[in-house]
Each structure stands twice: as C-alpha cells, then as structure tokens.
Amino acid sequence: MTWRKFFDEHIDHTVAIGVHVLALISFVIFTMFAVSNVQSNELADKLDKSCIGNNLIDQLPTATLEQVKKEASSTPNGQGLFWKISKDGLKPSWLYGTMHVTDPRVLNLPDQVKQAIDQSDTVVIETLDLLDPSKAQAALFKNPELTMFTDGQRLTSTMSAEDKAFVEAELKERGIPASLVARQKPWMVMSLVSIPQCEQQRRANGQQILDFDIVERAKSQGKNLEGLETIFEQMSAIGSLPIEFQVKGLIESLRLGDLLDDVHETMTQLYLQEEIGLITPALTAVAKDLGQEEDPDGDFGEFEAKIILARNYLMADRSEHILDKGNAFIAIGALHLPGEEGVIELLRKEGYEITRVQ
C-alpha cells in the first residue's frame, strides 16, 4: 500500500493531543523546532544551562511497569536503533533511529554507526531543506498559513478566558511576551515551551540535533545527501492539525512545568537503552500516573495515524530507490522504526532483509 493510499483510507481530521503525545515529537518531527525562531538570543542567554530530570518509569507501580513491558514486548522491532538492510546483488545499506535533540549522550554515536556512515555512498535524513536557510524561509513565506494566522485570528482566540489567562501568565513566566507570539499558530508556540531549557541553550549556542550532526559528518566526506520529505510536507503534517488540537497541546505542554525535564529524561533513557517499543506505552502509563485521562476519545490513535504512520509509508516508499542502489545510510526518527506499520516492516514487505545490529 502506498503512503498516499494509506493517508486517504486511514486519516480522520478530528485529532486531539495529550501530554504523552507532546513528548513524542522529539522522535517524530523536527521541523517545528527548527523553524520556531520567535525566541531571541537575549532570552536564550538567560536560560538555565542544566537539565535535572528524573526517569519517571522508576516511579511507576510494579504492576503497571510489568504491563507496560508486556505491551512493548509484543511490538515488532521494538528493540534496537541500528539495522542492516540487505538485498541480493546489492551492497548492504543501514538504517538508524534518531532522536531529534542535541543531548551529548545522544550525539555520541557508537563506532559501528560512525563506520557505516563513513563507508556509505549516500546519507539520508528526513529532510535536507532546513540545511539551506533560504529554502526554509521560502517555504515559510510561500505558505504563511502553516505557521501563522492569516485570517485575523490570534493565538488565544479560541481559548476560554481561564485558558487565555493561564497561557499568557505561563508565557510571561518564560520571558515570552504574549504580543510577540499573538499571530503564531499554537504548534509554533508549543515548540518553544516543550523543549527543556538546556536543549534550547545548546541550540542557541549553535549545537545541532543528531540528524544534522550526521549530515555534517557526511558532508565533510563529500557524500551524496538525500532527504525523504520536504520542509513543506513536515510543516503541513503538524500545521494542518485542527486549532483545537494545537491549543490543547500548547496548554498541556505548559502545564507540564517542572515535569518537562523528567519527561525528556525518561524518553532519553529509553532511547539510549534502545527500548523504542517501550516509549509510547511507558509515556502513556506515566501520563495516566500523573492524572491525565487515558485517551477516552482515541486522540492518540488519530495523532499516531497522521503524524507517525502515514509518514512511515511515505518514507518507506521514498527509501526504495535509494536502497536499490545499495550502500546507503538512512537516519530517521526512532519511532518510525517499530510496529507492524513501521518502516522496518514496510520495507520487509518489499523484499528487503533487515536485521538488527547489536
């Protein structure tokens, strides 16, 4: 099934978001963070340079943790970040799951991954457009409705008086005047407040996320570079979500408060342990433990279908012509790898042999 057919058959545009979904953005889509430049360097200079987070999984009841691990164990390809892709008559290619952050622990690639990059002919990430500022700016200029209100609405237009007061107070607390972001879509503002301060500080200081770090390594060796999506496609994926969806995500991300560092530390620890299949059920359990409702309206399933699964099909489709040349290194968000409709299984259905590299 092609990605377009999947999209047409599966996507419902009534999507909502929970606190556990916000955290998944670190693995799923990074355009929103890269194009959100409303925070000045002056504000960034005031940020605390350290993140002190706790692994929230350690706080889950034993029975809950056992259930989470049981669920994760049934997820195909739920363990592992680094995979070898083989096909008769071709040099092997490689698939690596990334986390779209600047955390030094994440940037510290294993030697075998570095070797695979160095020996490959082509290096691929989700999108190359953001490496060229002119392309990013052109996309924003040509499609302002993806990031800004163009119809007279404002950030708080659809909020209740209580929510409006809460949002404005929380933004002020973070040094972001409400007037500065009044015309921004909620997802853009959410991208500011859902990143730990130390992550913002590293980015303000010029540190790149893992995906771009990989590209810089490849560029220094003169390798062929390719992207699987355009910046427009990535922004459309998140920017086209209903405003109600975006507003709820913004409010819930603000309500995380001091727990933001804990959520990110939990994700980072699971990533470093290569327990990718644990991330979604663990965060869902953590959200419930923190008092969030357990997705009564199936919002997470809708979010997953549009932001993760549909893009899995797209990326698998667009990877094939690259893989059929052999000797490629493909790096995409780690949550695109596991599951029956993850990129690994989709490529297997097209005749590729894929094995975990440990």
- pLDDT by residue for the chain (358 residues), tens digit each? 443 343 334 332 222 244 445 556 677 766 555 555 433 344 344 434 457 788 988 888 999 999 999 999 999 999 999 999 999 999 999 999 999 999 999 999 999 999 999 999 999 999 998 787 777 777 778 888 888 899 999 999 999 999 999 999 999 988 888 888 999 999 888 887 888 888 888 888 888 899 999 999 999 999 999 999 988 888 888 777 788 888 888 888 888 887 888 888 999 999 999 999 998 888 888 877 766 655 555 556 667 777 888 899 999 999 999 999 999 999 999 999 999 999 999 999 999 999 999 8
Q: Please report which helix (H) or strand (E) contains residue 243, including its range.
A: helix 243-256
- Is residue 169 packed enough to be buried (19+ CB in 10 Å), middle (13-18) or exposed (0-12)? exposed
User: Which conformational region is residue 298 in: left (phi greater than 0), alpha (psi within -120 to 50 degrees), or beta?
Assistant: left
Per-residue burial over 334-352, b if 16 or more Cβ lie within 10 Å, else e, is bbbbbbebbbbbbbbeeeb
**Contact status, residue 19 vs residue 255, Cβ threshold 8 Å:** yes
Which strands form 122-125's sheet, in the order they lie side by side?
224-227, 122-125, 328-333, 93-98, 82-86, 353-356
Kindly provide the residue ranges of all beta strands, DSSP E only, lying in 224-305, ordered along the sequence.
224-227
The secondary structure of 27-87 as a DSSP string is HH--HHHHS---S-HHHHHTS-S------GGGGS-HHHHHHHHHHHHTSTT-S-SEEEEE-
Torsion angle of the four alpha carbons 209, 214, 219, 221, in this order, in degrees rounded to the nearest 10: 150
pLDDT in the model for residue 21: 53
Question: Residue 43 and residue 313: Cα distance in Å, rounded?
Answer: 39
What's the whole-model pTM score?
A: 0.87
Kindly provide the residue ranges of all beta strands, DSSP E only, lying in the chain, ordered along the sequence.
82-86, 93-98, 122-125, 224-227, 328-333, 353-356
Helix locations, 174-222, DSSP H: 186-193, 197-204, 210-219
pLDDT in the model for residue 18: 43
Pairing of strands 122-125, 224-227: parallel
- Is residue 104 packed enough to be buried (19+ CB in 10 Å), middle (13-18) or exposed (0-12)? exposed
